[in-house]
Amino acid sequence: MSVTDTTTNMFEKNSTEDHVETSTASPIGVDIRSGTEQNESIFAAGEVKAQYKTQRGLKSRHAQMIAIGGTIGTGLFVSSGRTLASGGPGFLVISYAIMSALVYLVVLALTEICAYLPLPGGTMSYYGRRYVSPSLGFMMGWLYFYSFAIFVPFELTASALVIEYWNPPVNNAVWITIMLVLVIGLNLLPVRYYGESEFWFAGLKVMLIVALLILSFILFWGGGPDQHHILGFHYWKDPGSFKSQLSPGSAGYFVAFLATLTSSVLPFTFSPEMLVVSAGEVQSPRSNLPRIANRFFWRLMVFYMGGVIAISVICPSDASQLTSGGSGAGSSPWVVGIENAGIKGLDSVINAVIITAAWSAGSSFLYLASRSLYALALAGDAPKLFARTNNHGTPVNAVIASSLFAFLAYMNVNSSAAVIFDWLLNLVNTGGFISWVCCSIVYIRFRKACLVQGVASPFHSPLQPLGSWITGVAFTILCLANGFTVFWPSKWAASSFLTAYIGIPLFIVIYFVHRIYYWSDKWAIPVEAVDLTTGLDEIEASELPLLEPKNWFDKIINFLV
């Protein structure tokens, strides 16, 4: 049975053609673990049994808007202030420019992989299995599950801390509980409810960013109530463009730059991987994915580069709110800039949207975590009970298991628990670096297999494969440099060392446990034996002509996506 036939049977068909399920379930039809058999208790005659099927509950507009703003959370709205305080506006803009360039190279690599074989349910862990080795795919699968799951308590905690801006006489645990119930409850409902809510909340986040950029432009020219002169780049001069850390002179500036660069990763983490998740659900993917990649570049320029330039204009890097150690709305550089301009009431509006952004991102990460665990179960790499779905196609067991990580948010109710939570958050940052290194390896292997087998890809960037070599080396260095300040005598602490580096041996151990268990398998699939054909004929046959948008709403979505 072909990949397309079996993956189509994985999801119950909906009578409306524009409904899709952006499940991360591994495509079936190819033995993705060399030398092993598929889980016969889940599959029957090559098809997924009814109790393990998800449903096509997301409309195309849901998938498109989720791709735009689904994972935009507090990283862009709040943690950017901490990065500004660390290195100053100059290093902030430079760091985001470098990170945007590196992430875009990853996007180009993933676009080429997905445009060649855009399978429904495809993930980078699946492509890692198919093009490199089963052990790499196994490690990447668990990496994504953990990273997505641990992001949920981070976003829940951020929501509670933002609420503290109004000084409510209620313990943080109450707000965390409310958010927790909403996030888990939404993910237990049929997926169409998640899709509809995420469509509107993701749209709200996008509109907030655009509105903040416009506001920053006005403040740049002195349009605030308490502004009596053109602000311009005043904060680049006072307190200055660049900061130094730990050492005097050039060494101190280098330390500040490297610290700023490594801390700027959070807003970008796993955004390229969202392209892979939705690749199998995009109409005419071989034509659309290159267009999406090009527009991703402009998204990086507008949302990320435009955002940090705006922050550097309206917020001083020495603002006490940024350096007080808080991670709630009070430490948002946007709120600081608005307060300095004397705009009354708008800070509360922004805080409210930041809360929805955090809650929305938490819902998205729980969705991705549960589908990652579901995919692992389908592949036989996790207990099969996590592949079981209810009558609505929701993998309930996977959702419940993934949501257990969310209870870690309660550790932030007291300060000592917050330190423990920082360990987990830094592990996610390390996971982001490791993921992009693995993505680079997968692309290099895929490209080499195409050259050896004489296969032409429908999309190829002139920046590749050099771009993947650059990202592979760069993210390896950044992964090792993450938390490097711990090696300064005045900064050394065992807890800080573990916070920064425990993730590297953890994921290496996961890889080698699988590798040792399947010792008879080859370390890597020979490039001449890499499967580049299974399912290709069906993908090419199903490619449809691009449809032009019919109304203004479709035109806006088409432009954004």
pLDDT computed for residue 258 by the predictor = 92
- Helix/strand/coil (H/E/C) assignment for every residue in 385-451: HHHCCCCCCCCHHHHHHHHHHHHHHHHHHCHHHHHHHHHHHHHHHHHHHHHHHHHHHHHHHHHHHHH
- If one counts every other C-beta atom within 10 angstroms of the C-beta of residue 455, the result is 14
Which residue shows structure tokens 């829940």?
156
pLDDT at 104: 93
The answer, as to whether pTM is greater than 0.75, is: yes
pLDDT in the model for residue 321: 78
CA atoms within 13 A on the CB side of 483: 24
How far is it, in rounded angstroms, from Cα 451 to Cα 455? 6
On the question of a cis peptide bond just before residue 153, with omega within 30 degrees of 0, the verdict is no
User: The dihedral of CA 115, 121, 124, 130: what is its sign?
Assistant: negative
How many whole angstroms separate alpha carbon 485 and alpha carbon 499? Answer: 12
Domain spans in the chain, listed from the N-terminal domain onward = 3-560
Residue 479: predicted pLDDT: 93
Phi, psi of 19 (to 5 degrees): -95, 130
Q: How far is the C-alpha of 43 from the C-alpha of 455, rounded, in Å?
A: 31
d(CA 387, CA 52): 5
DSSP β-bridge partners for residue 58: 20
pLDDT at 327: 46
Q: What is the pLDDT of residue 314?
A: 92
The per-residue pLDDT for 2 is 37
Class of domain 3-560: mainly alpha
The confidence score (pLDDT) of residue 16 equals: 38
Q: Indicate the pairing of strand 58-59 with strand 19-20.
A: antiparallel
What angle do the packed helices 134-163 and 346-378 form, to 10 degrees? Answer: 150
Mean pLDDT for each consecutive 10-residue tract of the chain (561 residues)?
36 38 42 43 46 48 59 73 88 95 94 83 83 93 90 82 75 86 88 75 82 91 83 90 86 92 87 74 72 81 90 89 58 85 84 83 86 85 87 86 90 62 72 93 95 88 93 95 83 79 89 90 90 79 65 64 54
Per-residue pLDDT tens for 30-50?
Answer: 444 443 444 544 544 344 454
